[in-house]
Amino acid sequence: MIPFSPPRIDKKIVDEVVDTLYSGWITTGPKTKKFEKNLTRYAGHPCTLCVSSASAGLELMLRWFGVTKGDEVIVPAYTYAATANVVEHCGAKVIFVDSGNDFNISVKAIEKAVTPHTKVIIPVDIAGYPCDYDEINDLVRRSDIQKQFIPATPEQSQLGRILVLSDAAHSIGGRYNGKRTGNLTDVTIYSFHAVKNLTTAEGGAVCLNLPAPFDNDKLYNQLNIKSLHGQTKDALAKMQVGSWRYDIIEPGYKYNMTDIQASIGLVELERYDDDMLVRRKHIFDSYTREFRKYSWARVPEYSNDRKTSSFHVYLLRINGIGETLRDTIIQKIFEKEVSVNVHFIPLPMMTWYKQSGYRMEDYPVAYENFSGEISLPVYYDLTDEQIRTVVQAVVDSVQSTL
């Protein structure tokens, strides 16, 4: 069976993890701090805080900005549940909006959804392809939009407009106008979950890039405390001679990354651009070259004059089919020993959100994108021969169904 996206685990990773295990320091410590510095250097934003997951990072930033009951947060209907669930945790209202043909959030739809209650927009770089950030950043700064913003916390007053909190769970290494994700909006969140491009088993990072007068380094210190129970010293700092005493300045969260996780990330990041991304691009290019030959295939856009993907998942669409035929095709592909997937079932179709009153009919492009979509395997160890097997399995399954 060809798996969908196994992690790349080799001797280098194992050695680095073992080194951490024997070092006597396994929770947040020197390796996490080093990983943060390397991520900052990699993407070019001012400052990075590593956390236990992207979900934790998203929620931490919504809490920091003071998002609460009565507020609205704009989220694409087409994303993984984490993007919207964290808004629910804060007691705020999720405002789903429709997508464009490239699967990403539609800026036109965002504009229509903005109200005086809007506090945050969470664009998601689906499959690693950056959203239209110039347009989104311009929109939140437009005077008519900025005028209707009602700040309710010191952070909201200081920003004076809607916060753009980018969900880059898929898109580390993706580029927009030559800059990497992480460095494109106020705050960007990476995920290092096991199936993501760059993994630490579980983990995430908060990339801070807030405009002046915010001080991103100062904010890092604040968030570091907020992500560790509001404790003024982390475990490593408390270990220093005479430094045992600490204070709790707020009821914070437990969202820190461990050095075991960071040790995997350090190895992954070092070889990410020259090795991981090169291989992923090769797989994307190979799929596109093959599927372009068939009129039923709609290949995804993954670069244009402004953007380059991080090649996270390959979102193939089959023209003119609905959910039922798509599901039949997927069944046939699995029977040929190839794992595929669907990214994503739009959230208004999920029980919780359906019960909350969202209707899928309100997001026709997201539905259209979903109903004919099949995600193909993309991972470092996928060989050229396996790529050919995947292509053949898809072609045979589609052609025997249509």
Ligand X SMILES: *Cc1c(COP(=O)(O)O)cnc(C)c1O
Residue 308 engages ligand X in binding (rule: CB under 6 A): no
Residue 319 to residues 370, 373, 380, Cα–Cα distance (Å): 12, 9, 29
- Residue placing its CB nearer to ligand X in the complex, 149 or 255: 255
Could you report how far apart the first and last alpha carbons of the chain are, in Å?
25
Buried/exposed code over 89-104 (b: 16+ C-beta within 10 A; e: otherwise): ebebbbbbbbbbebbb
Pick the stretch among 74-82, 222-230, 356-364, 369-377 that binds ligand X (CB under 6 A): 74-82
Pick the stretch among 79-87, 129-137, 141-149, 284-292 that binds ligand X (CB under 6 A): 79-87
Pick the stretch among 4-12, 80-88, 303-311, 371-379 that binds ligand X (CB under 6 A): 80-88
- Residue placing its CB nearer to ligand X in the complex, 79 or 118: 79
What three-state secondary structure class fits 44?
Answer: coil
Find out whether 180 and 202 touch, Cβ atoms under 8 Å.
no
- Residue placing its CB nearer to ligand X in the complex, 31 or 193: 193
Burial of residue 325, with CB atoms counted within 10 A of its CB: 0-12 exposed, 13-18 middle, 19 or more buried: middle
- Residue placing its CB nearer to ligand X in the complex, 198 or 321: 198
Residue 39 engages ligand X in binding (rule: CB under 6 A): no
Residue 48 engages ligand X in binding (rule: CB under 6 A): no
Residue 378 engages ligand X in binding (rule: CB under 6 A): no
Pick the stretch among 2-10, 164-172, 226-234, 285-293 that binds ligand X (CB under 6 A): 164-172
Residue 127 engages ligand X in binding (rule: CB under 6 A): no
Find the binding residues for ligand X in span 184-213 (CB under 6 A).
Answer: 191, 193, 204
Among 42, 65, 78, 80, binds ligand X (CB under 6 A): 80
DSSP class per residue in 51-108? ES-HHHHHHHHHHHTT--TT-EEEEESSS-HHHHHHHHHTTPEEEEE-B-TTSSBPHH
- Residue type at 62? L
Residue holding tokens 């991981």? 276
Among 17, 124, 283, 376, binds ligand X (CB under 6 A): 124
Alpha helix segments (H runs only) across 251-383: 259-270, 277-291, 323-335, 351-355, 364-371
Residue 329 engages ligand X in binding (rule: CB under 6 A): no
Residue 130 engages ligand X in binding (rule: CB under 6 A): no
- Residue placing its CB nearer to ligand X in the complex, 156 or 188: 188
Q: How far apart are CA 9 and CA 11, in angstroms?
A: 7
- Residue placing its CB nearer to ligand X in the complex, 79 or 397: 79
Residue 82 engages ligand X in binding (rule: CB under 6 A): yes
Radius of gyration of the chain (CA): 22
Residue 79 engages ligand X in binding (rule: CB under 6 A): yes
Residue 263 engages ligand X in binding (rule: CB under 6 A): no
Residue 62 engages ligand X in binding (rule: CB under 6 A): no
Residue 375 engages ligand X in binding (rule: CB under 6 A): no
Residue holding tokens 């998601």? 124
Residue 54 engages ligand X in binding (rule: CB under 6 A): yes
In which order are the strands placed within the sheet that holds 314-318? 297-298, 314-318, 373-376
Residue 41 to residues 89, 166, 180, 192, Cα–Cα distance (Å): 32, 19, 11, 17
Q: How far apart are CA 64 and CA 217, in angstroms?
A: 15
Residue 53 engages ligand X in binding (rule: CB under 6 A): yes
Pick the stretch among 47-55, 133-141, 155-163, 220-228 that binds ligand X (CB under 6 A): 47-55
Among 74, 95, 169, 382, binds ligand X (CB under 6 A): 169
CB of 266 vs ligand X, minimal distance in Å: 18
Q: How far apart are CA 312 and CA 126, in angstroms?
A: 9
Among 20, 28, 48, 55, binds ligand X (CB under 6 A): 55
In which order are the strands placed within the sheet that holds 307-308? 179-180, 175-176, 307-308
Would you tell me which residues interact with ligand X (CB under 6 A)?
53-55, 79-80, 82-83, 124, 167, 169-170, 191, 193, 204
